[in-house]
Amino acid sequence: MRSLFAKIFLSFFITVIVLAAFLQLSAATRSTLLESPGVRDLIARQAATAVDAYVGGGLAGLRQALGSFPEPVVLFDPRGQVVGNVRPGSESIVAGAKALLASRGGPPVRAVITRDVIVEPIVSRTGEPYYLAMRTPHERVLAGLATLDQHPVIRVSILVCVAGVVCFLLARHITAPLVRLRATAGQMADGRLEARAGRALTRRHDEIGALGRDFDQMADRLAALVVSERQLLTDVSHELRSPLARLTVAVGLARQRVGGEAAADFDRIEKEVGRLDTLIGQSLTLARIESGVNAGPMEGCDLTSLVEEIAADGDFEARAFGRRVVLLAVDPCIVVGIADLLRSAVENVVRNAIRYTTPGDSVEVLLKNEGTRARILVRDHGPGIPDAQLRDVFLPFRRVEAPNRSRSDGAGLGLAIADRVVRLHGGTITASNVAGGGLLVEIVLAVCHARS
């Protein structure tokens, strides 16, 4: 069977046919099978032979005739007595036949069949009515079927078992490879690009086998694309940074030779080089996140210590500019995610807040665990931004121009990176103006409860 369609169709078709036949058989066995012409003919012939032998050859002739039959038979004379001796093994036939004759209250005119015996009337050449009795053929099978006929519970149980086994095998045959395929897809989604459906699946000849082969082909292509994209990103990074590296060293060399005369200019050049470098780094990070390349494994991340570390580092950095980062409260909190990316998201938001906070003031950071959701709040004490542009701050290179908002040092990608990372983790990031001044950035992520 090559196709799944055929497998499903034939399985159900055969099951239904078999069950129907079984039902029919158990209900109608006795009448249909036993009254078939073959059985009747055999009995009639044996009866005629036995009576002829007895009438023509007496007891000796009868014994010889009976000996030639494959099954033991017993001949009754017109008075209902057994002709000759009852041979060993035939007692049950005699008993069954006598019971039958007694229950009918007289000699039968036509063959009578019960579960145990068949009684065939035969008229001898001399005109006397004899009876031949024999065991009902296939006694055991028929007896079993007859029992079933009398016990519907057993019959239904057998039906349920047969149907259950067939359907179970069929269902497993179909779903087992799908489960395997799903696991493979999950592995790939987790970044294990070498995961494949496997031989057991791809060598099947049905539709699932075709799906498996197509899946593996797709996986090959995907892996090749990801590898080439990764290579491209590395190459771009290398090619862009090599001249920058030479430039920085050259500036250092010039500074070494000329000394303090042009120090301010050198500082300026180094600052611009630093900006370019940051810009390249952030662009590449953004490209990596968007392409899904280099995304590490999703695992349980301790958001609490992550936020605490970022706040501590941010505070260190902010003090250099006369600002502070204050951690108002942190709840214990675990989320599932890529730790490095989450770190860079929160870090970018905090750094952005430091940049816009008025000197002497502080950035407030808060981590709340609300049961199913973790909420990270970062509030700066700066000028805020016009309400109409609140959404735009998460777009790449979108620097919001507002009064009192000086030209920033950032490359303009920090919040865009945070936005991509949070969305990659299925969370949301929003910005709003706080009454009393300042911008509030709010990150909401799903909390992981699976691990304690």
Partner 1 sequence: MAPRLLIIDDDAELRELVAAYLTGEGFVVEGGRGDATDVDRATTGGYALIVLDVMLPGTNGFDLLRRIRAASPLPVLMLTAKGDALDRVLGLELGADDYLPKPFNPRELAARIRAVLRRAAPRGPGRPADRLIVGDLEIDAGARLVTCGGAIVNVTTAEFDVLEGLVRAAGQVVSREALVREVLGRAFSPFDRAIDTHISHLRRKLGPRPGGGDRIKGIRGVGYLYARPGEAS
Q: Side by side, which strands form the sheet with 117-123?
A: 73-76, 129-135, 117-123, 112-113
DSSP structure class, residue 433? E
Of 347, 364, 380, 419, the one binding partner 1 by CB under 8 A: 347
Q: Residue 146 or residue 312: which is nearer to partner 1 going by CB?
A: 312
Distance CA 159, CA 437 (A): 77
3 binds partner 1 (CB under 8 A): no
Of 52, 149, 270, 442, the one binding partner 1 by CB under 8 A: 270
The pattern of x and - marking residues 187 through 226 that bind partner 1 according to CB under 8 A reads ----------------------------------------
The pattern of x and - marking residues 284 through 323 that bind partner 1 according to CB under 8 A reads xx------------------xx--xxxxxxx-xx------
279 binds partner 1 (CB under 8 A): no
| CA-to-CA dists, residue 145 to 25, 27, 113, 349, angstroms | 8, 8, 16, 80
Of 53-61, 130-138, 250-258, 358-366, the window that binds partner 1 (rule: CB under 8 A) is: 250-258
Question: 113 pairs with which residues across the strands?
Answer: 118
DSSP structure class, residue 86? P
Distance CA 30, CA 117 (A): 12
Write out the binding residues for partner 1, residues 327-346 only, by CB under 8 A: 327, 340
Of 11, 187, 237, 430, the one binding partner 1 by CB under 8 A: 237
User: How many residues lie near partner 1 (CB under 8 A)?
Assistant: 36
Write out the binding residues for partner 1, residues 365-394 only, by CB under 8 A: none
The answer to whether residues 209 and 199 touch, using CB atoms and an 8 Å cutoff, is no
414 binds partner 1 (CB under 8 A): no
Q: Residue 83 or residue 311: which is nearer to partner 1 going by CB?
A: 311
How many Cβ atoms from other residues are within 10 Å of residue 449's Cβ? 9
Of 25, 163, 273, 377, the one binding partner 1 by CB under 8 A: 273
Of 32, 68, 147, 242, the one binding partner 1 by CB under 8 A: 242
Q: Residue 119 or residue 318: which is nearer to partner 1 going by CB?
A: 318
**Residue found by looking up tokens 């593996």 in the block:** 216
Distance CA 433, CA 447 (A): 26
357 binds partner 1 (CB under 8 A): no
Q: Which two tokens stand for residue 131?
A: 């009876």
Q: How many helices (H) and strands (E) does the chain have?
A: 11, 11
Q: What burial letters (b/e) apply to 93-113, b meaning 16+ CB within 10 Å?
A: bbebbbebbeeeeeeeeebbb
Of 57, 58, 164, 252, the one binding partner 1 by CB under 8 A: 252
H or E segment at 89? Answer: none
**Residue found by looking up tokens 């970022």 in the block:** 310
- Where does this chain bind partner 1 (CB under 8 A)? 234, 237-238, 241-242, 244-250, 252-253, 256-257, 270, 273, 277, 281, 284-285, 304-305, 308-314, 316-317, 327, 340, 347
